[in-house]
Structure 1
Amino acid sequence: MELQKTSNGHHDLSPDRIPENGYVSRFNINTRGTISEKKVTALKVQKFYMTSYLLICNLFCLKQSFFVGKTSFGMSIFNLSNAILGSGILGLAYAMANTGIILFVLLLTSMAILSAYSIHLLLKSAGVVGIRAYEQLGNRAFGRPGKILAASIITLNNIGGKIKYIINFISYSQRQKDMTTDKANYWFVDGRYLIIIISVLVILPLALMKRLGYLGYTSGFSLSCMVFFLISVIYKKFVTECPEEHSYNKTVPTESIYNSTDGMCEAKLITINPQTAFTIPIIAFAFVCHPEVLPIYTELKNPSKKRMQKVANISILTMFVMYLVTAIFGYLTFYGNVKSELLEMYSKKDTLMLCVRLAVLIAVTLTVPVVLFPIRRAVLQLLFPDKPFHWVRHISIAVCLLFLVNLLVIFVPNIRDIFGFIGATSAPSLIFILPGIFYICIVPEEQEPLKSRPKIQAIAFVTLGFIFMIMSITFIIIEWVTGKKTSGGH
């Protein structure tokens, strides 16, 4: 409260001289009559300017809060679900054929629960130190080397994911070309040219968005495309006969997962064969979304650990249902004949499946901008950690990343194999190893001792991550040595 001073320098505490909230009260003005009209007018002008000032401040704060922490709960679910969903959904029917229905369901359920637990560890670590950046958690746990390690793993994993999506786009568009134009060789249907056009006209504008939350609409549309794919797979189950008798494919695929054709059109509850071990990493990495968790958490409206965990749980549950239904109906359509990529099993002249392939193309395209955000954030954390947001840096990093990825895809033929090996190390690191280690190092001993149950669970979780990493690397080396593609990737 501002008090007026008398001529001797002391505060005048008389009631008519004490304004309420900095202003003269209406009661004092109307009843006392000790203040001149000029002073009343001056005080009213002062009140007007103060009110205007406060209104401008509130509007400014509202403008700022529009950009930070204003992504709705539903949009956050769309973005995280889109980050989880990958082209690996096309290989889950093949995975079920190599594990059997019961074993597949057990593995998929276990991985969904472990992924939710991993996000819990990540959010708990972020809550302890008040940091919502994966790279800064690494810095808090191990200093600058930890920050560099986390940023590098995120960058390599997500660039590898972008390369996979773009390669899938090229391969799908090439198949569309083969199905629709047998002899035509137009440049605009060439996958390499098409991905450049799509990158410039679709991916880049979306990648230039200031906030990840703005991509909630495109993520929702991407998910709707995959729902269309799912509905089509279910429908095809009831109108497609087993490939042994189906007219479009007279011969059984040469690489069968069985030693004989006996029981090729019979569902197996549990299957153990040499390919079974290869499918476990596919299922294990089906829920990779951890680089996007903290950026989405940062922009979530009314953010809290409980609210963000709920976003993660709903997203994982949604993807679990989509994965499970796709795998079951894809497997029960083709049984032991199913290939590592489900869409290859359907007739090339089927109009519905042509539309489905186009929907998958769109979904893959709209996933790339979501994957790009954590890469840019990691680059900014490494190169410009203390710099405020700047549009030039924001745009330059996006353009450079897209240019680099397209360059690698077009001119390095074996780039998918290289990043497949990198993914075998980065994916288990992001899902299992780093969240567990961050939790162990960041949560103080006074709160949870090293021998406490939560810390022991985190240690076991990290150990499981190293097991998956060793398995994945081993299987990739076997593929390189034998020269055979054993399974589809996420």
Structure 2
Amino acid sequence: MGENSILTSLQKEQNSKSSLKMAFMNMANSIIGAGIIGQAYAVKKSGLLGGIFLLVSLTFVVDWTIRLMVVNAKMSATDSYQATVTRCFGRAGLLAISIAQGAFAFGGSIAFCVIIGDTIPHVIGAVFPSVRSSEGFIGFLVRRNTIIMLFTLLISYPLSLNRDISKLAKASAVALLSMVVIVLVVVIRGPAISTDLKGGAFTIPLLTVNTGFFQGISIISFAFVCHHNSLLIYQSLRQPTLDRFATLTHWSTFVSMIACLALGLGGFLVFRDKTLGNLLNNFAGDDVYANLARFCFGFNMLTTLPLEIFVCREVLLNYFFRDSEYSKLRHFVTTTVLVVTAMAVALSTCNLGAILELVGAFSASTMAYILPPMCFLKLSTKKSGWRDRALPTACIVFGVVVMVLSSAQTIFSMINDTETSHCSV
């Protein structure tokens, strides 16, 4: 009976793991999240040629650093991003990665809630036109902030209480299908909209390299970085090998790049200098096709938000209760506080572009361009020559430059209020 019990337990554990297809759904959905809707804004900031160059080149960099994390974990005999950085740099490393991961996941959660408020009210107004001018309780229910609270607490919050990330794979698959609809709507519907909504004439900076080049890097990085949960996805594989994970990473980043290029170029070429941080806000509120895209995007955010809460919760619990046993109460309280706090911040702002820029500048740069190569250099000091160290060193320098310059540009832009209103309702 003892042997049978062990076999049964192993079988259950194996069944709870993700296939390569399921893992692809989770990783691609983690990448093609809130950040994709800001890719046209990134192209505007970077310029057309600059934006295309960044979208392609950063795909290769992110693909490399994601796989480098797994190599680092194996070299250091650790099983998480936090543990790897801690093994390399001690308590200071743990603090650095915890702040970066937590800030990125929490910033993503805020962005997702903002997008829910940007999209769902338009959809409800399109389906039930009379509610737009309704007073009293009905009018209250369809307001932006009420929608954010209702949809976050009733849909995203219950999903966030899951402990097993592989259980979100089916929701991720549906969310990816919805992204296909969004891309098609932007690419096909965009050129056909009223000329009043389209942007002005192209300028040389818009066509080549614009002054917001480093801000563009931050926005693109926000979209592509999934380092905060990539090791979790690696461990969820039924057969976690470097080759299988490399295949998973290549396909996930490549598909994400194609989607970002389609949405980024399709949106920017239509709206040009008018392009907003949330591209769907450029379309008219009563545009039927745009509202279909808004519905799909809002639904995507409802299912992607739990992935970010999952990571943020794990970061907090691993830092403060690393040696403690699992507690249902602690799990419940932590999840509740994270969801409610992210939702509360989203209720106070509509500026999705600034959120993507700031989170991308600080957290994405740290997680994708700075810490993975730093750990690699630390772990392979005695085994590698200068040629092996040149690429990681260059990546670290790149990450630091992006963090400093992009953060400064974004803060300066916010202080001077150079952007138009980002609220759609």
Partner-residue secondary structure (3-state), 1:143: helix
Q: 1:487 to 1:79 in 2, by over 3 A?
A: farther
- Tell me whether 1:301 sits opposite 2:238 in the alignment: yes
Give the structure-1-normalised TM-score.
0.77
- Tell me whether 1:447 sits opposite 2:383 in the alignment: yes
Match of 2:179 in 1: 226
- Tell me whether 1:465 sits opposite 2:399 in the alignment: yes
Tell me which moved more, 212-221 or 267-276.
267-276
- Tell me whether 1:196 sits opposite 2:149 in the alignment: yes
Alignment of 1:359-370 (within 5 A): 359-370=296-307
Match of 1:133 in 2: 80
Give the CA deviation at 1:359.
Answer: 0.9
- Tell me whether 1:318 sits opposite 2:271 in the alignment: no
Query: 2: CA distance between counterparts of 1:110 and 1:487?
Result: 31
Partner-residue secondary structure (3-state), 1:348: coil
Tell me which moved more, 419-428 or 115-124.
419-428
Query: 2: CA distance between counterparts of 1:110 and 1:420?
Result: 18
Asked if the contact 1:72/1:301 (under 8 Å) is kept, the reply is: yes
Query: 2: CA distance between counterparts of 1:141 and 1:193?
Result: 46
Asked if the contact 2:277/2:353 (under 8 Å) is kept, the reply is: no
Asked if the contact 1:164/1:416 (under 8 Å) is kept, the reply is: no
Alignment of 1:203-282 (within 5 A): 203-237=156-190, 240=192, 243=194, 246=195, 249=196, 261-262=200-201, 270-282=207-219
Cα offsets for 1:386-421 (capped at 9, x unmatched): 234343332232122112222333468999968964
Alignment of 1:15-54 (within 5 A): 52-54=1-3
Query: 2: CA distance between counterparts of 1:403 and 1:133?
Result: 27
Match of 1:425 in 2: 362
Give the CA deviation at 1:159.
Answer: 0.8
Tell me which moved more, 390-399 or 310-319.
390-399
Q: 1:102 to 1:379 in 2, by over 3 A?
A: same
Query: 1: CA distance between counterparts of 2:32 and 2:350?
Result: 25
Which of 174, 177, 184 in structure 1 is aligned with 2:134? 184
Which of 56, 60, 66 in structure 1 is aligned with 2:5? 56
- Tell me whether 1:351 sits opposite 2:351 in the alignment: no
Partner-residue secondary structure (3-state), 1:285: helix
Give the CA deviation at 1:228.
Answer: 0.7
Give the share of equivalent positions with the same residue, in percent.
23
CA RMSD of the aligned region, Å?
2.9
Asked if the contact 1:140/1:442 (under 8 Å) is kept, the reply is: no
Q: 1:415 to 1:363 in 2, by over 3 A?
A: closer
Asked if the contact 1:437/1:458 (under 8 Å) is kept, the reply is: yes
Instruction: In structure 2, give the amino acid aligned to 1:274.
Output: T
Give the CA deviation at 1:434.
Answer: 0.9
Cα offsets for 1:52-80 (capped at 9, x unmatched): 4433332233234444xx21111111111
Q: 1:188 to 1:214 in 2, by over 3 A?
A: same
Match of 2:314 in 1: 377
Instruction: In structure 1, give the amino acid aligned to 2:250.
Output: N
Q: 1:349 to 1:429 in 2, by over 3 A?
A: same
Query: 1: CA distance between counterparts of 2:262 and 2:7?
Result: 49
Tell me which moved more, 158-167 or 267-276.
267-276
- Tell me whether 1:83 sits opposite 2:20 in the alignment: no
Cα offsets for 1:143-197 (capped at 9, x unmatched): 1221122112211221111111112212333444666444224222123222222
Q: How many residues align?
A: 416
Give the CA deviation at 1:338.
Answer: 4.0
Instruction: In structure 2, give the amino acid aligned to 1:184.
Output: S
Match of 2:340 in 1: 403
Q: 1:182 to 1:220 in 2, by over 3 A?
A: same
Give the structure-2-normalised TM-score.
0.88
Asked if the contact 2:374/2:392 (under 8 Å) is kept, the reply is: yes
- Tell me whether 1:111 sits opposite 2:64 in the alignment: no
Match of 1:28 in 2: none
Tell me which moved more, 83-92 or 137-146.
83-92
Stretches of structure 2 lacking an aligned partner (at least 5 in a row): none
Query: 2: CA distance between counterparts of 1:362 and 1:370?
Result: 14
Greater radius of gyration (CA): 1
Asked if the contact 1:408/1:415 (under 8 Å) is kept, the reply is: no
Query: 2: CA distance between counterparts of 1:454 and 1:342?
Result: 41
The structure with the largest helix share of the pair is: 2
Partner-residue secondary structure (3-state), 2:133: coil
Query: 2: CA distance between counterparts of 1:210 and 1:284?
Result: 27
Query: 2: CA distance between counterparts of 1:193 and 1:294?
Result: 36
- Tell me whether 1:286 sits opposite 2:217 in the alignment: no
Stretches of structure 1 lacking an aligned partner (at least 5 in a row): 1-51, 254-260
Asked if the contact 1:132/1:297 (under 8 Å) is kept, the reply is: no
Asked if the contact 1:236/1:333 (under 8 Å) is kept, the reply is: no
Query: 2: CA distance between counterparts of 1:413 and 1:334?
Result: 19
Asked if the contact 1:90/1:343 (under 8 Å) is kept, the reply is: yes
